[in-house]
Structure 1
Amino acid sequence: MEPSMNASSTNANKQKSDSTWTIARKKFVKRKLAMISLFFLLFMIIVSFLAPYIVNTDVTRINLAEINEEPSSEYWLGTDRNGRDVFERTLYGGRVSLTIGLISMFCVTLIGSIFGSVAGFYGGWVDNLLMRFTDFILTLPFYVFVIVLNAILIGFDRVTGMWSLIIVFSLLGWGGVARIVRSKILAEKENEYVLAATSIGGKPSKVITKHLFPNVMTTVIVQATLLLASYIVAEAGLSFIGVGVPPDIPSWGNMLMEARQTDVLQNQPWVWVPPAVCITLTILSINFIGEGLKDAFDPKTNRG
């Protein structure tokens, strides 16, 4: 009995010594669906960003001699109404859509984390001021302001359609993250380690970055995955109705825009099915990754 008890106690001590990140990583690896989704998402990102090295043709060049060609050995996914290769445009479109999603996610997470951390840590009038401004941002009709601001930014010569969407998403999308981070900071700042760091004269910036924010990082990571999916969908939806990425820049949303024509929708599925499948599978993979991260960082399942 004693050896088994010693072994169990050793395992218990080992589990206690493992950090939250180590436990979460081990649990996440065990989730097959989340791991498959992670590999698929990485594959899509790598293939999309290596598109210029995979295909060497100009995806914006119009070829009237090859209009509406069905899938063949020469054109794997056929051509569209302008004679452009659908396979090549799908690769380049993924680069644009994923770039918008990834950069917007990073900017929104950064802005929201800063606002939420400062508001939660200082409290008082600082909290009231920042949260009232956050409430104002959250009350704005998101898509209406995205369309208006995007149209304004596109008017500047140095701002392309892709970057205008990123700027607008970043300016209007951080409110939810700020509220979540603030609530976590309010709960964490009452702990003894934070009070000790403050009592010995620690600067607020160091207390926030070194003590508070690392303990809310897990929640921010899970929220970031959801943001990535939402911004990819937002780009696709806005480009589909013609107010997102300009038509001359290939994106998954722009490729879906051609499905608004009844003839293309019914008789030329090779034009819109590939980007639709890419968007669907990418969003599903991101959601599965988010669910896996949520369960991995859940302290209730850690006890199990």
Structure 2
Amino acid sequence: MFSRLIPRRCFKVWYLLVVVYQSFCLFRYHQVADGTGASQFMNAWASACKGLPLSSIRHDRAALMPRDQPTPTFDHIEYVIPLPKPDAEVTSNNRPVATKKIRFSFDMVKKIQSKAVKENDERGFPTYSTFESLTGHLWRCITKARGLSGDIETRTTIICDVRRRLTPSISEDYYGNAIFRSCARTLVTQLTEEPLSYAAGVVHASIKRLDNDYIRSAIDYIEHRRQNTASFGRPLSTVLSPDLKVTSWLQMPLYKLDFGWGTPVYAGPSYVPFEGLIILNTSHTQDGSVDAILTLFEDDMAKFENICFEVPN
């Protein structure tokens, strides 16, 4: 229903911002700013509406510039798009896609995290964050719901804010795009047969890999690709299966926004353009619950809903 808020016409000019009053819909160009930047913008907008002073921001992009001679030092698989299966688009063309918001209560989130951490303690490994544990759980459940099996590789691309990962770190008041990808990958058999801690561990390792050296290499890699490739980016595919893409809005205070008439009852995407995307967001209940907004084929979604709250003891 939220897709109705987006004007259905071809823009002759691509606007940086489109606002539709009634429910309150934003359309923004992601290359201008990431989620943190969008949050800064909306906070400033809300403050302006209430006559409050605005916080200062920085636009200096120097910290994210490539070296004079871009020299990647790592293999950046997160920016290499896997070749689609020959029959993937054909078999999926007639399958309707569903977008749903699945709420994981505070108790359920802690149960999932505790399960991953307990299994890790038994192996002597480090603990995992809420994001890592829940992402691992969703990855396993969705893979099972999709009916995948065997030695098929499955990837989860995770969108990471690197402001605090660079040396020196980027100031928190930086307005721009400071997100990079990490790629967690494994085989379907391992993901579904190993315990939850395995999936959380694969996610954890992929995020931990994003240190200063890796990010600097990624910047050079992107610049090198930009200079040598006419079109750089994901092909226009609407299906990610057997893969996923996960982004976290958990640090964005969307439900604390107040333009003068109170806080929102829903804050989230109006439209999800492809199968296999997960957005983790705080719940409007503000009690520690997490909303997983995800898009799957309808028949896979039904299977997912039947198993997503099952956490083995």
Larger Rg: 1
Give the helix-richer structure, 1 or 2.
1
Quick check: TM above 0.5? Answer: no
* TM-score normalised by L of structure 2: 0.25
Give the strand-richer structure, 1 or 2.
2
* TM-score normalised by L of structure 1: 0.26
